[in-house]
Structure 1
Amino acid sequence: MNTQDGKITVVGGGAIGGIVAARLARSGQAVSLLARGAQLDAIKRSGLSVIDGDDRYTLKVDATDQPETLGVQGLLFICLKGPALTAAAASLTPLVGPGTHIVSVMNGVPWWYLNEFGGALAGQRLESVDPGGVVSAALPPSQASGCVVHISSSIAEPGVIRKGYGNELIIGPGSARMADRAAHAVELLRHAQFDVVASDDIRRDIWVKLWGNMTMNPISAITRSTGDVILDDPLTKNLVVSVMEEARRIGKEIGIELTMTTDARNAMTRKLGAFRTSMLQDVEAGRQLEIEAILGAPYEIAVKAGIPAPFISVLYGLVGQLNANLIKQA
């Protein structure tokens, strides 16, 4: 399948970026991968390997940590956690031209979320995920689309990605002018054997996933409890519901209606059993937590809109202190 987007780069060689790059390469696309550290060294030495059930394959991928060597890209998949994107944003400017299509493949609220959206908040910058405008300066919000990931994946060892459950990506344009480009990205990833849903309201889809992440992730990080324990305890479940109802009100203020009940959403989560959230895994590994996109941005939107969010603010403050302690200990 030929791509109208020209050169393609996946930014971030971690668990999700790695599987996206590998699947694209396996489908015949010439794709570059921006990675770093041991992951980059292993990929350059032995290729990028994927373990997917009984299927294991290895591909040669053009991997580098020098974006300036790649030139302007037609399509960029941003597969970084929030703190990593903030740190790397300025270095990505050589990849972006006026025709570059930028697809954020990230958890939580992305830097472009309020571009041409949000009622009275439309066009405002979110300091929590775009401090000082550093991300927007490198990755123009008007050129962005969004991707919600429903795939479990992990790094088994440097250069090796182990795909877990799920295979769904939800993709939609951030603005009407990007609709054709987003539709092409959908087809590109379908050809790469992902189950891709074309969204007509990607901001709502992002908020729906956030609705679960903004409770289970930080509560599990603070308590070290698995998902089943959190939802089976009436007190922590009440906290989950209180945060979700605040998020529902915040979403409504900026134009997002959530029709699902909190009980229905939590029943879906409970079916996952004794799962360890990504934030809990980060705590156990001593890694910096992805807080701002998951809690900081919703809280900032609430403040801007004048909506009380006491439960979100408490959770945001507690997990922020936890993160600060992890950084000190690193």
Structure 2
Amino acid sequence: MRVCVVGAGAIGGTLAAAFARGGAQVSLLARGVTLAALARDGLVLDHDGATERHPLPVSSDPADLGPQDLVVLAVKAPSLPAVATSVAALLGDHTRVLTAMNGLPWWFLDGGFGGPVSGRTLRSVDPEGALTRAFPSERVIGSVVHLGASTPAPGVVRWETGDGLVLGDPAGGADEVTQSVAGVLGSGGLSVTTSQQIQRDVWWKLWGNMTMNPVSLLTTGTMDTILDDDLVMELVDAVMFEAKALGATLGIPMDQDPADRHRITRRLGAFRTSMLQDLDAGRPVELDALLGAVVELGELTGAPLPTARMLFGLARSRARVSGLYPAS
């Protein structure tokens, strides 16, 4: 299996190492200092007290790597439209595309999913339709990543917590190719399961991320400090109850309340969300994929999301002041 990972950051690097361990022919698409480090030293993975070095082909030009069996998109959501217009050389007639990113993907309402808004395009994550054109849902393997990793230096990945990965096709289930990908990654050390409806798994993860990420952007607080503030948690709970009702409209009923999710989040301790890390590093934030798309779904379905809309507006304003979100 020829696999190219686009984006050799924490998650992309961990997945690349897992594919290599599992016997795939792996290459990396990278740029800048990360490209230089990977070309010089290979991909370095620190995990469980051991260090692995994977000398993998790497380039900034997709044409150097050629058509693949699988392309893994592991870049931040704001970078996806540019990727969509630049990776055609990686895509053959039968190439599949595995998406590994935060928030709602452009294919979320495809495959007959979404109840009254099935088949609609989420403009907040695919405003010009570039993602849908480049990566139609028939090519896509959706994923939900349940592991924690960081990049202490370019080309170096520290895999810190968790090993879970859920895979599934937007149309439901997992076809033979998706099952094969799951097998390779399982052989590479990940705990991989397949989903009958990957959108449900995406929504479940989003249910926590859609609040904790923007609240951390506003407060610069870690998970534990957010959870310890009763007034802040009133806001968080209100948004989550709104999203729970919206999920039921889309065909994702939940039998849990926010308090159940908070008990899971509490285990992370003084964790810095990805959005807080992006703020600190001066990188564009994934606000549209994590919360803006939820607000858009509310508008499409007519579901009232007053608290979610206020949180989105506040977080958007904060990000704009920092130059991390486009001006209106």
Give the TM bin, normalised by the shorter chain: over 0.9
Cα separation, 1, equivalents of 2:68 and 2:110 = 22
The answer to whether the Cα contact below 8 Å between 1:145 and 1:175 also exists between their aligned partners in 2 is: no
Cα separation, 2, equivalents of 1:24 and 1:11 = 13
Cα separation, 2, equivalents of 1:49 and 1:73 = 23
Which runs of 5 or more structure 2 residues have no equivalent in the other structure?
A: none
Q: Give 1:328 shift.
A: 6.8
Equivalence map 1:21-60=2 (5 Å) = 21-60=16-55
Q: Give 1:180 shift.
A: 1.9
Cα separation, 2, equivalents of 1:141 and 1:71 = 22
SS of the aligned residue for 1:97 comes to strand
Which of 130, 150, 157 is the aligned partner of 2:153?
157
1:324 corresponds to which residue? Answer: 320
Cα separation, 1, equivalents of 2:312 and 2:324 = 18
Q: Report the residue type matching 1:90 in the other structure.
A: T
Overall identity of the aligned pairs, in %: 41
The answer to whether the Cα contact below 8 Å between 1:8 and 1:73 also exists between their aligned partners in 2 is: yes
1:130 corresponds to which residue? Answer: 126
Equivalence map 1:97-108=2 (5 Å) = 97-108=92-103
2:106 corresponds to which residue? Answer: 111
* Over 6 Å off, 4+ runs: none
1:71 corresponds to which residue? Answer: 66
- Go from structure 1 to structure 2 and tell me whether the alpha carbon gap of 1:87 and 1:327 turns closer, same or farther (over 3 Å shift): farther
Which of 14, 27, 48 is the aligned partner of 2:9?
14
Aligned residues: 324
1:250 corresponds to which residue? Answer: 246
The answer to whether the Cα contact below 8 Å between 1:77 and 1:102 also exists between their aligned partners in 2 is: yes
Question: Alpha carbon RMSD of aligned pairs, Å?
Answer: 1.6
Which runs of 5 or more structure 1 residues have no equivalent in the other structure?
A: none
1:292 corresponds to which residue? Answer: 288
SS of the aligned residue for 1:324 comes to helix
The answer to whether the Cα contact below 8 Å between 1:115 and 1:141 also exists between their aligned partners in 2 is: yes
Cα separation, 1, equivalents of 2:290 and 2:300 = 17
Q: Give 1:141 shift.
A: 1.6
SS of the aligned residue for 2:28 comes to strand
SS of the aligned residue for 1:128 comes to coil
1:140 corresponds to which residue? Answer: 136
SS of the aligned residue for 1:85 comes to helix
Cα separation, 2, equivalents of 1:271 and 1:177 = 31
Q: Report the residue type matching 2:14 in the other structure.
A: I
Q: 92-101 or 47-56, which moves further after superposition? A: 92-101
Q: Report the residue type matching 1:263 in the other structure.
A: A
